[in-house]
Homo-oligomer: A and B are copies of this chain.
């Protein structure tokens, strides 16, 4: 069983690694194929594959096969989901405001 916290933590794992942030930066300017991402990244081919899998599974990146090439792009849906989630988990919930509970 996976708790909701474990599930949510996975969404943010996508943004927790500098290599993955470098990939996202490249994708901001449009769809890229793996070979293009690769030669700007100081990383091996299997390393890129590893990180792209994490980005795709987190939903923030979509992929598309075209013959031998795989093209990656930012997912607008994934973006919206991550932003909404971050807003939610950091939002003060004034409806249930309680005092500290400390024995002082």
A residues bordering B, Cβ < 8 Å? 3, 5-6, 8-9, 12-13, 15-22, 24-25, 28-33, 35-36, 60, 66-67, 69, 71, 74, 76, 78-79, 82-83, 86-87, 89-93, 96-104
CB distance from A59 to the nearest CB of B (A): 11
Output the nearest chain B residue to A23 by Cβ-Cβ distance.
Answer: B5
Cβ distance A47 to chain B, nearest Cβ, rounded Å: 15
Decide: A101 and B32 in contact? CB cutoff 8 A. Answer: yes
Residues of B within 8 A of A36 (CB): 100-102
B32 touches A97 (CB 8 A): no
The reply to whether B21 and A8 form a contact with Cβ atoms under 8 Å apart is yes
A21 pairs with B9, CB closer than 8 A: yes
B28 near A93 with CB under 8 A, answer yes
Write out the residue numbers on chain B whose beta carbons fall within 8 Å of the beta carbon of A78: 90
State A102–B72 Cα separation when bound (angstroms).
12
